[in-house]
Structure 1
Amino acid sequence: MSQSLIEALQNPALYPHPVAGFEVIETHISWVLLTGDYAYKLKKPVDFGFLDFSSREAREHFCHEELRLNQRSARDLYLEVLPVTGSPEAPQLGGDGPVVDHLLKMRQFPQSGLLSNVLARGELTPAHIDTLAQRIAELHAQAARVPAGHALGSAEAVMAPVRQNFEQIRPLLGEETADLAQLQHLEAWAEDTFARLAPLLEQRKADGFIRECHGDIHLANVTLIDGEVVLFDCIEFNEPFRLIDVISDAAFLAMDLEDRGLKALSRRFINAYLELSGDYAGLALLPFYKAYRAMVRAKISLFRLGQEQDPVERAMILRQYRNYAALAESYSAIPSRFLAITHGVSAVGKSHVALRLVEAFGAVRLRSDVERKRLFPAAGEAELYGAEASQQTYAQLHRLAAGILRAGFPVVLDATYLKHAQRLAAQAVAEDSGVPFLILDCQAPQTVIAAWLAERQAEGRDPSDATLAVIQAQEAGREPLRDEELPHSGRIDTHDAASLNGLVERIRQQLPEL
């Protein structure tokens, strides 16, 4: 019936808008009918276990679910659900006759806008990733929380699909000895990691981090519409795929970026997401969830192996599997950690220096301006930058840094650190954590600082409220680095790209596995 219906729907007279022509895009679960300005999705009557569209009532339900869920992030893209009445051979949109099926009406957009295609053209920018991080953080902040008594989100519920991956992959590999040995190593790591993280997984559920997420965030599910980054096509058909930890949702995109060779952008995305959400506690779960996402992709790549006889095609399938398995294995590596702090007045370029360490080493950047406002969201400027608020802000930076280091990530603290006592407190965190301590002494000419400050104020997007008067006061109150601090410090002329590149290289030489 659905095949005849999709053919009958290719009649311009049925639509209350001009039709430029018809094009049908078919997937294993739906047809999408393109008309020019609008697209209409018809779900197929299929039951794959993980989704069931076999009844008309189910297809209607999931059309409404798809509309509801995707309007959270793409309201202008997902428009309405329309009943199809009449008969499959002579359908009408709306009408008073018997309901044959339902269509999801969407605004049509060019496939060239998909970020996967933007990347293929070499046009994907860090700004796209920063905006996408904002969209995802906003979605997660507004997403409904899974009730504490719900079965989904418990530690065992999280681990069940991880174990299922290994169970389903093993027979598909046949006699591939090296692949089987690697799979055994990955499975052992997953079990050990789960045993260590199980209390945190349960705590995440209790704290409300299991939410109605997107479930399928990758570059092909993000598009540019009128220059805006739009996240679409979330999973409506399976609650276990969608009712997940927010950090698992973010991990999918991070893994997808790394699979595409975009490790620096992946690190930038995670850092931006954390700054926006404040969910630093989820970092300990990130490698576990990224490895899980990579193994799902690895498993899917193997599904065709049993039906494929051509040796060349089989080799290509195995190569794709091995790429994903190697990516999953990379998440089991023990990272090199360090704690770095910036030192310098506002607008000297500290945040830019810190971001380079994020992209180069996977460090997590903690910005004093962001955390200060998170601590004191309703404070006026005088209170926000008073001595008491500053003391609490630095204490919070150090608490967060200790937790991030325990989670296995290097940290860079983006703050002025003009007082010796503040630097001593940060060094104590590094010593307690057993990691190297670095002071990034950021310098720039006064004319450059003034120009950067004016540019920052004109853009209006930076979290810092510093003015030229504030910077002058900082200069007057600065406590220079002492002799005992110099072995930990390195000067960076922030207006000189070579100086920053040299810093990155020096750190890389000291921590070669990063």
Structure 2
Amino acid sequence: MDVDAFPRLIEALMRPDAYPHPADPVEHIETHISHVFLAGAFAYKLKKPIDLGFLDFSTLERRRRCCEEELRLNRRLAPDLYLGVVAVTGTAIAPRIGGPGPVQEYAVQMRRFPQEALLDRQELSGELIDRLAEDVAEFHARLPVADTESRFGTPEAVLAPMIENLVQIRACALEPYPRDCLERLETWTRGRWHALIPMIERRRRNGYVRECHGDMHRGNIALVDGEIRIFDAIEFNPLLRWIDTASEIAFLIMDLEESGAAPLARRFLNRYLERNGDYELLSLLDFYKVYRALVRAKVMAIRLGQADLDPAQEARDRLTCIRYLELAESYIRPRSPRLLIACGLSGSGKSDMARRLRESLPLIHLRSDIERKRLFGISEIASTRASLDAGIYFPTATAWTYARLLRLGDAILGYGYDVLVDATFICAARRALFCDLARRRRIPFAILSLDAPVDVLRDRINRRFAANQDASDADVRVLERQRLALEPLTSDERAYAVVIDTSQTPPLADVLARIESAFVSMRAPTEQ
């Protein structure tokens, strides 16, 4: 279709008689690269005849192929929403969806859902975020892995769109925001990229570059009939979807943080990591969060360069662009990590407390029950109940589990994140290993010690055991064994410990304040 005729086609598609089904009224949504028409029970998405460098919709054949690719990709996560590719026939001033005659355009036909179903239109619950994290982790696990001989996920392919974002943002006048912001972000991006080249290449060769969604944020996720549907995957540029899974989740985490939902962003990240164990992605997360914030800033910059904006919308888009730039800058600030261990007998409430803390603090929660099962390739909720010292609970397996927790904790602290290690820690020597880790790293350390009357512990364990929906396999026999083996906190440990009876847990704000007060900066022995 002639570029000049395209606006007439868009105007004509607002008429209900352009559709082969009831469609009155027709609603129109425009993005920087597409037009979507909400018509009756369906939605139709047309691609703008544009070439932006990172995408090329400049010919009808390219637009048709991209429609077909969009259908294939989105049926992975929303098969009931994506119905087919249909021709727009007739003329620019009298079009017909799926009618006879010459093809003017192609459109992706979708099942329509209420706009209120979009996650960026509703208040999100923790339970929904957990489900979303599990769905995304399972989606990533079943995706095809990029051929290591391809360009996908190479260090050069990672850097190129990052720099292109900055180029396109610079092309837009963004005053009054200081333009040296872009210089700082480019300097940081190039420097960080250079330092991360070995990790980027390592993850590519280890299979973490996969055919992802590519554009996973709240505006592309809906709750339809109670089911999570992730749609609108990137079809126009394979390099933008064959990416490290770390880049994928960075977009959603950044989007949640930008919306003011940082606690839910932390919850998503921790649940995703629990499900797939890819803690190494934390080494790249800030790098990709900067990139994703700049993607959103670029989208706003492109909109600012389009002629159809009214002054009020232009002002709003300019402010949004600036807000994303400020968010990107917040991610380049250095962090000082801290280490917290949560100890206590089975049933004392360690994991419940840790789950509350990980929404309030920017920490990564490592749970011994989950990491023990991961060592043996077992699902976190698979029952492995056996006699004492049998199954996956023989003494050496316990030593392996603590060694894994220590190794993971050390790595995550090195990535700049606070760590909370959740285990019974009934042996003082095992607590000392983590205290020594904090000393070696010269970082703050604290102990969260939880307990409750024994009858409360037994009741909790019996109820959890009956429900069989938790990673812990501990039963009352295990509890009695732990009570006999428990080595109480030493006087030195009590100096940086928070002790809580969880049968009468204080308000979370009080717990947080006590933890902050308990943190002690550890120094290497030679400095003491």
TM-score normalized by structure 1? 0.87
Change (3 A) 1:505 1:8: closer
Q: 1:253 to 1:307 in 2, by over 3 A?
A: closer
- Measured after TM superposition, the shift of residue 223 of structure 1 is 0.9
Residues 497, 327 of structure 1: alpha-carbon distance in 2 compared, 3 angstrom cutoff: farther
Match of residue 526 from structure 2:
none
Letter of the 2:130 partner, please give it: D
TM value normalised by structure 2: 0.85
Q: Could you tell me how far apart the structure 2 residues matched to 1:331 and 1:118 are?
A: 26
Match of 1:25 in 2: 28
| CA 423–59 in structure 1, closer or farther in 2 if over 3 Å, else same | same
**What is the Cα deviation at residue 447 of structure 1?**
4.3
1:23-49 CA-partner distances (Å, limit 9, x unpaired): 242425444343443333344444433
Q: Distance in 2 between matches of 1:316 and 1:57?
A: 35
CA distance in 2, matches of 1:9, 1:171: 37
2:20 to 11, 14, 32: 14
Give a deviation string over 1:234-261, Cα, whole Å, max 9, x none.
Answer: 1111112211111111011111111111
C-alpha displacement at 1:406, in angstroms?
0.7
Q: Which amino acid aligns with 1:337?
A: P
Q: CA deviation at 1:116?
A: 0.9
- How far has the Cα of 1:330 moved from its partner? 1.4
In structure 2, the partner of 1:167 is 167
Judge conservation of contact 2:113–2:224 (CA < 8 Å) in 1: yes
Aligned counterpart, 2:339: 339
Q: Distance in 2 between matches of 1:396 and 1:94?
A: 62
Matches within 5 A, 1:371-450: 371-377=371-377, 380-381=384-385, 382-450=390-458
Superposed counterparts of 1:288-299, under 5 Å? 288-299=287-298
Deviations 1:88-139 (A, max 9, x none): 85857488x87665443322211111111113xxxx1111111111111112
After superposing the two structures, state which structure 1 stretch, 37-46 or 387-396, moved more. 37-46
Partner of 1:274: 273
Q: Does 1:65 align with 2:73?
A: no
Give the total of aligned pairs.
503
Change in CA separation of 1:110 and 1:315 when aligned onto 2, cut-off 3 Å: closer
Greater Cα shift, 465-474 or 2-11: 2-11
Instruction: State the partner residue of 1:186.
Output: 185
Check the 8 A contact 1:420/1:479 in 2, yes or no.
yes
Distance 1:170 1:304, change over 3 A: same
SS in 2 for 1:266: helix
Counterpart of 2:413 in 1: which secondary structure?
helix
Say if 1:342 and 1:412, in contact at 8 Å, map to a contact too.
yes
User: Aligned with 1:172: secondary structure?
Assistant: coil
Q: Distance in 2 between matches of 1:45 and 1:318?
A: 24
1:243-283 Cα deviation digits (max 9, x unpaired): 11111110111111111111111111111111112111110
Preserved contact between residue 363 and residue 410 of structure 1 (Cα < 8 Å)? yes
- 2:122 counterpart residue number: 118
Distance 1:407 1:111, change over 3 A: same
> Equivalent of 2:56, from 52, 56, 63?
52
The answer as to whether partners of 1:492 and 1:500 remain within 8 angstroms in 2 is no
Are the counterparts in 1 of residues 14 and 26 from structure 2 also a CA contact under 8 Å? no
Structure 1: where are the runs of 5+ without partners? none
Output the CA distance in 2 between the equivalents of 1:481 and 1:135. Answer: 40
2:80 equivalent in structure 1:
76
Aligned partner of 1:349 in structure 2 is 349
SS at match of 1:25: strand
**Partner SS for 1:335:** coil
Structure 2 contact 343–425 (Cα < 8 Å) conserved: yes
1:39 to 36, 43, 51: 43
Q: For residues 53 and 249 of structure 1, what CA distance do their matches in structure 2 show?
A: 24
After TM superposition, give the deviation of residue 163 of structure 1 in Å.
2.4
Any idea what the Cα deviations from partners look like across 1:371-391, whole Å, max 9, x if unmatched?
111111259543212212211
* Structure 2 residue 481 is the aligned partner of structure 1 residue 466: no
Is the 1:346–1:471 Cα contact (8 Å) retained in structure 2? yes
Output the aligned Cα RMSD: 3.2
Change (3 A) 1:447 1:227: farther
**Per the alignment, in what secondary structure is the counterpart of residue 48 of structure 1?**
coil
Q: Check if 1:217 corresponds to 2:220.
A: no
Give the CA deviation at 1:290: 0.8
Contact 1:9 1:91 in 2 (8 A): no
510, 515, 525: which one aligns with 1:502: 510
- 8 Å contact from structure 1 (residues 82, 94) kept in 2: no
Q: Closer, same or farther in 2 for the Cα pair 1:110/1:243, shift >3 Å?
A: same
* Shift in Å, 1:396: 0.8
Counterpart Cα distance in 1 of 2:458 and 2:144: 45
Three-state SS of the structure 2 residue aligned to 1:384 is coil
Other structure's SS at 1:230 match: strand
> Counterpart of 1:478?
486
Q: Distance in 2 between matches of 1:167 and 1:20?
A: 42
Aligned AA (1:475)? R
**How has the CA–CA distance of structure 1 residues 20 and 472 changed in structure 2, closer, same or farther, with 3 Å as cutoff?**
farther
Q: Tell me how far apart the structure 2 counterparts of residues 492 and 339 of structure 1 sit (CA, whole Å).
A: 18
Separation in 2 of the partners of 1:453 and 1:394? 22
Match of 1:491 in 2: 499
- What corresponds to 1:240 in structure 2? 239
> Partner letter of residue 330 of structure 1?
S
**Alpha-carbon distance, 1:58 to partner:** 2.6
Alignment check: 8 A CA contact 1:258 1:266 kept: yes
Helix, strand or coil: the match of 1:295?
Answer: helix
CA distance in 2, matches of 1:8, 1:173: 33
1: CA distance between counterparts of 2:49 and 2:15? 17
Report if the CA contact (8 A) 2:172-2:304 is conserved.
yes
Per-residue deviation at 1:483? Answer: 2.5
Q: Which moved more, 1:74-83 or 1:262-271?
A: 74-83
> Residue type of the partner of 1:385?
Y
Q: Which amino acid aligns with 2:117?
A: G
Aligned ranges for residues 224-263 of structure 1 at < 5 Å?
A: 224-263=223-262
For 2:456 and 2:23, the matched residues in 1 are separated by: 54
Distance, in Å, in 2 between the alignment partners of 1:313 and 1:225 is 29
Stretch deviating more after TM superposition (160-169 or 277-286): 160-169
Corresponding letter in the other structure for 2:411: G
Deviations 1:213-249 (A, max 9, x none): 1111111111111222221111111112211111111
Task: Report the secondary structure of 1:214's partner residue.
Answer: coil
Deviations 1:476-506 (A, max 9, x none): 3222222332223211233444254323113
Paired residues of 1:129 and 1:265 also in contact (CA < 8 A):
yes
- Residue type of the alignment partner of 2:110: M
The 1:25–1:222 alpha-carbon spacing in structure 2 relative to 1, beyond 3 Å, is same
Structure 1 CA distance for aligned equivalents of residues 139 and 306 of structure 2: 40
Aligned partners of 2:47 and 2:63 also within 8 Å: yes
The equivalent residue for 1:204 is 203
